[in-house]
Amino acid sequence: MEIRTFEENRKIFIKKLIAAAVLILIVAIAVVLIVIGINRQKELEYLESYGMSAVSVGSNEVTYDIYRTLYLNYRDELKKSYTKDGETDTAALDSEIRTRVLNDLRYMYAIVSLGSEHGLSLTSRDVLSVSETYIEEMKAYCKESEIDFNATLEEGYMTERAFEFFQRVMAMRDVLYTTLVQNKIIESADENVLAALRGEDFIRVKSIFIENDAGEEVENNRLIAAEVIEKYNGGEEFNSLIGKYSEEIPGGEAYIMRGEKEAAFENAAFALADGEISNVVEVDGGFYIILRLEKDEMYIIEHFTELKSLYQHITFENKLKAKANMLTATESEYVRSLSYEEIK
């Protein structure tokens, strides 16, 4: 048997120790990477269990399950518009989705904020009662139609808690509207509403909408819209042009109030005199041509009930928009760090 000196044994021991240490280090690095991956997944799962705030809206904290529901539904809605030749511009799509989600949350919490000014909250008795009715009606509908309620929530990327939150916000909106009308914060006297309908903030228009469908050239649609104006100026009836060109359902004639339509549409429509036609008006998703008409007094009298309701609801929406514009919505640092692919 070979006899080693103390020094030789020491060197062998050190070599083995170093080899073991290297192996441990390699294993440790692998474990760390696995742990990071697991922790990332756990953090997402934790977020989904609504333990962590995803967005701050004013002084309110919005949990991840609510953010996720909005994000993924917008993803499904918008993805086609950001995909060309099989390639999706995920960076642009992600930016658009996040903007829309934050706008939606500002609107929702505008309801909460305005409601709190009038003694309401998401846990108020009236709000809970109405929301419970909405939830029961939805579940009853699913049962009668043999639709799996839980599967429907999953298809909408919605936890039951998120569903309940959305129903409470909707209920609070309805209760708030009734409260403002009953307290005459929104005008309810017939003579005052009629005066408003006869005023300058309520107009009658006809319009043609050329939609930018997927795959269509935007500039080509702009030229089509210009062609419509040219044909009208050449003597063709606007109603005939509506039938040939307009892609809006319902299209044609409408009475509108300020705050009801997109800003570009309203700015063009309210700047017209009776009988004037607009230039091409570009909005999200397409182009409008607008013809302003003289208001029909008989129509206003005969349809006063529905026009009064329209006036009151648009007045209410304008109050909510004003409140939403006062609120800031900020994603948490963690949610900002999530990629398009990680939100699923």
pLDDT in tens, 235-266: 999 999 998 998 876 667 889 998 888 899 99
User: Which are the contacts of 318, defined by CB distance < 8 A and separation ≥ 6?
Assistant: 258, 259
Look at residue 307 and tell me whether its pLDDT is greater than 70.
yes
341: closest CA among 79, 156, 105, 102?
79
Across 118-130, average pLDDT = 94
Look at residue 2 and tell me whether its pLDDT is greater than 90.
no
pLDDT number for residue 86: 87
pLDDT in tens, 155-196: 999 988 899 999 999 999 999 999 999 999 999 999 999 999
CA distance 160 to 166: 10
Q: What is the DSSP letter of 340?
A: T
Confidence of residue 275 (pLDDT cuts 50, 70, 90): very high
CA distance 18 to 16: 5
Across 69-73, average pLDDT = 94
pLDDT in tens, 214-232: 667 888 999 999 999 999 9
Across 288-315, average pLDDT = 94
How is residue 326 written in tokens?
A: 């006062």
CA distance 44 to 343: 9
Look at residue 320 and tell me whether its pLDDT is greater than 90.
yes
Residue type, 162: A
Angle between helix axes 125-144 and 160-182 (nearest 10 degrees) is 130
Mean of per-residue pLDDT scores for the chain = 85
| CB-count burial class (<10 Å; 0-12, 13-18, 19+) for 115 | buried
Can you point out the beta strands (E) in 44-169? 53-57, 60-63, 83-84, 87-88
CA distance 147 to 88: 33
Percent of the chain with pLDDT over 70: 84
| Cα separation values, 100 from 167, 250, 325, Å | 20, 25, 14
Higher pLDDT, 270 or 215: 270
How is residue 317 written in tokens?
A: 């929406």
Least confident span in 47-51, 59-63, 183-187, 303-307: 47-51
Q: What is the DSSP letter of 185?
A: S
CA distance 126 to 334: 36
pLDDT number for residue 45: 52
| Cα separation values, 201 from 22, 39, 204, 218, 245, Å | 78, 56, 10, 32, 28
pLDDT number for residue 46: 44
pLDDT number for residue 93: 94
Q: Are 77 and 65 spatial neighbours (Cβ–Cβ below 8 Å)?
A: no
